[in-house]
A and B are shown apart, each in its own frame.
Chain A
Amino acid sequence: MARSRPRRRADDAGSLDGLLASREIVVACGPGGVGKTTTAAAAAAMAAARLGGKVLVLTVDPARRLADALGLEGIGNTERRVPLETFVEAGVKPMGELWAAMLDTKESWDALIRHHAPDARTREEILANPLYRNIAGRFVQSHDYIAMERLFEIHSEGTYDLIVVDTPPTRNALDFLDAPERMADFFSSRLLRWLIVPYRSKLVNFASRPFYQVADRILGTQFLADIAEFFILFQSMYEGFVERARSVQRLLADRRTSFIVVSTLEMVPLREAEFFAQALTERRLHLGAIVLNKVLPSYLRDPEAAVVAEALTERAEDLAEALAPKLGAGADVAQVRRVLDEVGRSYLDYRVVAQREAEQRSELAAVPETLVSVPYFETDVYDLAGLLRLGARLWGEDDDPAL
């Protein structure tokens, strides 16, 4: 694999370029609040810019900012191409095309029902069922499932060379991995058939009667009837649905799919990320890389600099007296002393955090082939140029003049 590497690479930096060049689906997952959405978008933007082909970023994050950064007026359930001018403005001539779509849970569920419903009447009844409307609109786990389902749908159309997916924030990191299987289990459950028996025939099994007594008293008859109607309708779509869920599952395990776990080096997110990486491996899913975001610069761990910082604080008085006359007009000794002291202290403060992070990193148990560190960006990413700057780091390029 000959790849051109025009810029300097940091010594220990891994790169996502190999992964993004060889896979058709890359799923970004990990704990919330670590920059997963931005990382997915940056990876996709880089792939479109440098590797070529048609690249889609499928996001679940309704953040307007991402749409703005991509030069789109909002992103919807249908894919839209990022205008070429946006790349031109960012000073880049892309090799390929970048497309973006946002997951709309309700719309995707409706599309799925339309696809599977055996006839128009069933379709309309399901779409109108209060329980269905709740499941599609609010039900959290349905979000996990539909994200994977939509990925499957887009992938099977074969329009894109690469799809980068940003996963929904889940209560449990594993929820979305299990979603297809749970969905299949759910609809093939014996309990389901048991539950809807009294609504299909007048014959209620004697053994199940206590259950209905209790269920009736707790939930009310109407509610139970709604549940039953929903499932009776759904049964007509059962086979298609289960088959589909299994296909989604197979796609996730396919060798064309890889996962990247995104985290920061803070303790709680990193613990969650490690757990996740382990779970991927246990399920024989391909863990392609770990991306560590918001990593503090290494000069904060320089032992010599720490000595200097301590000296600035301890000897601030002496230093200020020597320095004050040499500085511009108006700098008095007290002020210079305070600044020196503050500068020294601040270094030592950040050093504590940087060291803590370095320890966390060295303790990282499951290290895949690729480990990418992305530095703490001082300003927020708000345009494509910013995404590509972040993307360059994902490529292992190190263009920070401060280092």
Chain B
Amino acid sequence: MVGLLDRRLVFVTGKGGVGKTTVAASLALYASEHGRRTLLCEVDAKGDISAYFETGPTSFAGREVLPGLWAMSMDTEASLREYLKLNLRIPVVGRIGPLAKAFDFVATAAPGVREILTVGKLCWEVRERRYDLVVVDASATGHIVGQLAAPQAINELVRVGLIRSQTDWMLDILSDPAQTGLAIVTTPEEMPVNETMELAVKVREETTVELAAVVVNRVLPELFGRGEEAVFEELRRPAAAGVVAEMVGGDPAPVLEAARLAVTLRRTRAGHLERLRQGLDPSVPMLYLPYLFTRSHGLRTIRQVARSLGEELGT
């Protein structure tokens, strides 16, 4: 399988709350640090990207936020304007009047219009080759299939017209695993794992995009090695705990309890991780990112995650 970042268009999705945006930003940062001119695009513009890079709001026009790394946020209306400007070359465009309102209306009535303008813009950036790599902080798991399958859906709905003729080249890019891939971000918890496995099936059946990686975020560390857990259990007995209390001059009970909690959490999650491994096609690479026990946020977090990603990607 083509390496995740050796492609030209990488969509990153995941259930809400698993760290999808963080992983997308880290992938983009990592790629840009390795000499690839990278565009990071936030699709559901919540402003998280600009918070991470501490650069102020991003817009439809890409902006270089770090050397070799551009950030933009998707705006379907701006995408439509750009498209009309590039493709129609008819003078009436300026006189359509309330384009925003009209567009909003058509987009509300016709599903797939927003999606096609999003995917169309991204594919266009790939085709224009201004960047080596486009990383997309895409829609969450519930909506990603609709987004990726928009060109096909439009093909079914729209039989003729300019949009129809445009979907073919988009499909060429999206269907080519050497160019396009999808990464699903998850955490080793029950619901995110379930959704990831369900999504993997839907992506295979309903889209032409290849699942290029599953990124498991917030993996908890293993506390004890072989035989050490028995030692830990011994330490929790009153006799041993008493010795510790005396030597350090404080009650170790909360500390031991916290370790027990950590072991249990790790164990519950290991079960879900195993289920995920069993449920996925073994050819799909899995990348593991550790839980960050830090106070940091913003760019510091992104850098830490990017470093872990680098280790996982084997460089």
Residue of A nearest to B98 (CB): A191
Stretch of A235-243, A251-259, A330-338 lying at the B interface: A330-338
Number of A-B residue pairs at CB separation under 8 A = 231
Q: Is the CB of A402 within 8 A of B257?
A: yes
How long is the Cα–Cα vector from A402 to B253 in the complex, in angstroms?
Answer: 10
- Within B78-99, the residues touching A (CB, 8 Å) are 84, 88, 90, 92-93, 95-98
Q: Is A140's beta carbon under 8 Å from chain B? A: yes
State A189–B240 Cα separation when bound (angstroms): 76
Of all chain A residues, the one with the shortest Cβ separation from B108 is A186
Asked if B88 and A299 make an inter-chain contact with CB atoms under 8 angstroms apart, the answer reads no
Kindly list chain B residues whose C-beta atoms are within 8 Å of the C-beta of A269. 17
Residue-wise interface mask of A (272-304) relative to B, using a CB-CB cutoff of 8 A (1 in contact, 0 not): 000000000000000000000000010110101
Partner of A312, one of B255, B257, B265: B255
Are B227 and A335 closer than 8 Å at their CB atoms? yes
Contact assessment for B268 and A171 in the assembled complex, using a CB-CB cutoff below 8 Å: no
CB distance from A278 to the nearest CB of B (A): 16
B194 touches A227 (CB 8 A): no
Q: Contact at A221–B223, with CB atoms within 8 Å?
A: no
Q: With an 8 A cutoff between CB atoms, is A211 at the interface?
A: yes
**Docked complex Cα distance between A328 and B17 (Å):** 44
Give the residues in chain B near A211, CB-CB below 8 Å. 96-97, 102
User: A328 to chain B: which residues have CB within 8 Å?
Assistant: 230, 234
* Given A191-B101, A214-B88, A312-B248, residue A169 in contact with residue B235 (CB < 8 A): no
Whether A231 touches B191, Cβ cut-off 8 Å, given contacts A211-B102, A326-B239, is: no
The distance in angstroms between the C-alpha atoms of A141 and B294, with both chains bound, is 37
Given known A-B contacts A223-B158, A322-B243, A323-B243, A135 and B111 have beta carbons under 8 A apart: yes
Q: What's the Cα separation between A171 and B45 when bound, in Å? A: 10
Q: Does B205 contact A (CB under 8 A)?
A: no
Q: How far is the CB of A75 from chain B (nearest CB, A)?
A: 16
Q: Are A218 and B162 in contact (CB under 8 A)?
A: yes
Per a CB cutoff under 8 Å, which of A223, A264, A322 touches B157? A223
Q: Is A205 an interface residue when CB atoms closer than 8 A count as contact? A: no
**Least Cβ distance of B312 to chain A in Å?**
21
List the interface of chain A (C-beta within 8 A of B).
Answer: 31-34, 63, 65, 130-131, 134-135, 138-141, 169, 171, 182, 186, 189, 191-192, 195, 210-211, 213-223, 226-227, 230-231, 264, 266-269, 297, 299-300, 302, 304-305, 307-309, 311-312, 315, 318-319, 322-323, 326-328, 330-331, 335-336, 338-340, 342-344, 346-347, 349-353, 356, 376, 378-380, 402
CB distance from A279 to the nearest CB of B (A): 14
Kindly state the separation between the CA atoms of A182 and B105 in the bound complex, as whole angstroms: 11
Q: Chain A nearest CB: distance from B215 CB in Å? A: 15
- A292 CB, nearest partner CB in chain B, Å: 14
Task: Report the minimal beta-carbon distance from A222 to chain B, rounded to whole angstroms.
Answer: 5
Determine the distance from Cα of A352 to Cα of B256 in the docked complex, in whole angstroms: 16
Kindly list the 8 A-B residue pairs having the minimum CB-CB distance in the complex, ordered from nearest: A32-B16, A33-B17, A220-B161, A349-B293, A311-B248, A299-B254, A305-B254, A210-B92
Chain B CB within 10 A, most for which of A33, A226, A379, A380: A33
Q: Are A352 and B295 in contact (CB under 8 A)?
A: yes
Q: How many residues of B contact A (CB 8 A)?
A: 79
| Cβ–Cβ contact B96 & A214, under 8 A | yes
Output the least CB separation between A340 and chain B (Å): 7
Nearest neighbor of A324 in chain B, beta-carbon distance: B231
Q: Is the CB of A350 within 8 A of B227?
A: no
Which of A195, A308, A349 lies in contact with B248, CB distance below 8 A? A308
Known A32-B16, A299-B257; contact A192-B161, beta-carbon cutoff 8 A: no
Which listed residue, A305, A315, A335, A376, touches B231 by the CB 8 Å rule?
A: A335
User: Is B66 part of the contact surface with A, judged by Cβ < 8 Å?
Assistant: no
Q: Are B247 and A319 in contact (CB under 8 A)?
A: yes
Residues from chain B with Cβ under 8 Å of A376 in the complex: 261, 265
- On chain A, the residues within 8 Å of B143 by CB distance are 140, 171
A-B contact pairs, 17 of them (CB 8 A): A32-B16, A32-B140, A191-B101, A219-B106, A220-B160, A299-B258, A304-B251, A305-B252, A308-B252, A311-B248, A319-B247, A336-B235, A339-B228, A342-B228, A343-B256, A346-B221, A352-B294
Contact: B294 with A217, CB < 8 Å? Answer: no
Chain B interface residues toward A at CB < 8 A: 15-18, 44, 48, 84, 88, 90, 92-93, 95-98, 101-102, 105-106, 108-112, 139-140, 142-143, 146, 153, 156-164, 190-192, 194, 221, 223-225, 227-228, 230-232, 234-235, 239-240, 243-244, 247-252, 254-259, 261-262, 264-265, 268, 293-295, 297
A307: B residues at CB distance < 8 A? 248, 250
Report the minimal beta-carbon distance from A352 to chain B, rounded to whole angstroms. 5
Residue of A nearest to B236 (CB): A343
Cα separation A189 to B235 with both chains bound (whole Å):
72
Q: B interface, by DSSP: helix, strand, loop or mixed?
A: helix
Query: For residue A130, which residues in chain B have a CB less than 8 angstroms away from its CB?
Result: 156-157
B235 touching A231 by the CB < 8 A rule?
Answer: no
Chain A residues with CB under 8 Å of B249's CB are: 311
Could you tell me the distance between the alpha carbons of A238 and B1 in the complex, rounded to whole angstroms? 53
What is the CA–CA distance of A375 and B277 in the complex, to the nearest angstrom?
29
By a CB distance below 8 angstroms, the chain B residues around A335 are: 227-228, 231
Which residue of A has the minimal Cβ distance to B190? Answer: A380
Known: A308-B244, A335-B228. 15 other contacts (CB 8 A): A63-B194, A134-B111, A211-B96, A213-B92, A214-B84, A223-B110, A308-B252, A311-B249, A327-B240, A335-B231, A344-B255, A347-B258, A349-B293, A350-B258, A376-B265
Least CB distance from A389 to B in Å reads 15
Min Cβ gap B51→A in Å is: 9
- Residues of A contacting B162 in the complex (Cβ-Cβ under 8 angstroms): 217-218
Evaluate contact between A222 and B158: CB separation under 8 angstroms: yes
Residues of B within 8 A of A139 (CB): 111
Q: Which residues of B contact A356 (CB under 8 A)?
A: 295
Looking at the assembled complex, report how far the CB atom of B249 sits from the nearest CB atom of chain A, in whole angstroms.
8
Distance in angstroms between the alpha carbons of A33 and B108 in the assembled complex:
27
- Is A331 within 8 A of B255, CB to CB? no
Option from B255, B293, B297 in Cβ contact (under 8 Å) with A343: B255
B234 contacts across to A, CB distance below 8 A = 327-328, 331
Q: Which residues of B contact A216 (CB under 8 A)?
A: 161
The residue from B18, B105, B161, B297 contacting A33, defined by CB atoms under 8 A apart: B18
Q: How far is the CA of A222 from the CA of B16 in the complex (A)?
A: 37
Given contacts A189-B105, A402-B257, is CB(A312)–CB(B244) below 8 Å? yes
In the complex, are the beta carbons of B223 and A331 less than 8 A apart?
no
Complex Cα distance, B12 from A379, in Å, reads: 29
